[in-house]
Every structure is written in C-alpha cells, then in structure tokens.
Amino acid sequence: MPKKIVFLGDSITWGFPWGPEYSWVQSLKNVLPDAVLINKGVNGNTTYDMLMRFEQAVLSHGPSHVVISGCINDVLCGESFDRITWNFRKMAAIAAANGVKVIFGTPTAVDDAYLEVLLVRIREWMACYAHENDISLIPFHRAFFDEEGHIKADLLLADGGHPDKEGHRRMFELIDTSVFD
C-alpha cells in the first residue's frame, strides 16, 4: 500500500498566493512518486482551525503520515503560547491514537522583530516536544535565515510573512524524506 501523507497547515502549506502547485508540498511529488500527497493547507488558518477540521482534513483520508505546520496566524491574532502548544499537542495525540505518524514543520520566518521573538519560542517548544515524543521535525524556518541569524527577506513576499517561489523551494530542500519511512 502506498504512503498517504496529509499536509495540514495554513497559507504557507497551501502555496499562497499562487496555489498548491507552487507549494513546497508539490515539490515532494517528484521525490515521493509512489506516495499519495494531500495538501490541506487553508489560507488564514490558525492551529485551532486546524484542530477543528482535523478529522475531516486528515483522518477521513486514512493517511499513514501527517505533516502539521502553522501558527503564524495564531501569533498575528494574539493567541497565547499555551493555546498554540495545546493545539499542536492535541493534533499530535489524535493522529497517534489513529495510527498516523506525526511530523511537525516549524513556522517560517516573519520579517518583524516582535513576531519573530514569539515564533522562536514556539519553534524551540516544537523541537523539544518532538524530541521527547518521537515526532519527526522539519525545520522550515532555517530556510529563511543566513549564517548570522538574519532573516533572508528576499525569500519572502512584500508582506514579510509568506515565502516567495524560491522560499518554497528552499523549504522543500530542508525536508529529509526519511521522515516518511
């Protein structure tokens, strides 16, 4: 039976503004030709939105894997760290209880110093939680920082938060496909 991977997320998963065919998810089709890839990114989604649609967006497809990525919209809306991390934990628990391998994707960079401070905390939590719970982690954010830790704003659209086409390509390059084994 082929692997079936659902990608649950927000506009960055979906491929905003061009659409799913330009998303980092689409690039995986070339390296995982026998897998079924289902892009369930929805523009504007928060982690709460993702949790509320988890059964329909993920479980209804009977996947072997789910990549859960998001939370920039949560930060923009002022959601608390505790609520964001609770949503991630809950989605991971539901997936695991249904025999679905969980993979977290870290939130990408935002060209705003205040928001980045909040996102760093979430990325650090994700890395610790993933390590402690045998969850694979794709460090998407690393595509958007240079060696000195400065944001590569040239990989973002003018809004400072969405990757451009090159940003999506670099996100794809950070995926170790062994996470889908």
Q: What is the pLDDT of residue 2?
A: 84
For residue 100, the one-letter residue type is V
Comparing CA positions, the residue from 137, 156, 132 lying closest to residue 145 is 156
The tens digit of pLDDT for each residue in 65-98 reads 999 999 999 999 999 999 999 999 999 999 999 9
What span, in angstroms and rounded, lies between the C-alpha atoms of 116 and 121?
Answer: 9
Q: Where are the alpha helices (DSSP H) in 133-173?
A: 165-173
Q: State the average pLDDT over residues 134-157.
A: 97
Q: What is the pLDDT of residue 5?
A: 98
Q: What is the pLDDT of residue 145?
A: 97
Question: In the structure, what pLDDT confidence band is assigned to residue 1 with cuts at 50, 70 and 90?
Answer: confident
What span, in angstroms and rounded, lies between the C-alpha atoms of 55 and 108?
Answer: 25
Describe the strand order of the beta sheet including 4-9 as a list of residue ranges: 36-41, 4-9, 65-69, 101-105, 136-138
Q: What is the pLDDT of residue 151?
A: 97
The count of other CB atoms within 10 Å of the CB of residue 28 is 20
Q: Is 71 left (phi over 0), alpha (psi -120 to 50) or beta?
A: left
Q: Taking CA 128 as the corner, what is the angle to CA 112 and CA 109, rounded to the nearest 5 degrees?
A: 20
Q: What is the pLDDT of residue 93?
A: 98
Q: Which tokens hold the place of 117?
A: 């401070």
Q: Which tokens hold the place of 43?
A: 């523009």
CB burial class (10 A; 0-12, 13-18, 19+) of residue 105?
buried
The tens digit of pLDDT for each residue in 91-139 reads 999 999 999 999 999 999 999 999 999 999 999 999 999 999 999 999 9
Neighbouring C-alpha atoms within 13 Å toward the C-beta of 49: 19
For domain 4-180, give the fold. Answer: Rossmann fold (3.40.50)
Radius of gyration of the CA atoms of the chain, in A: 15
The tens digit of pLDDT for each residue in 15-64 reads 999 999 999 999 999 899 999 999 999 999 999 999 999 999 999 999 99
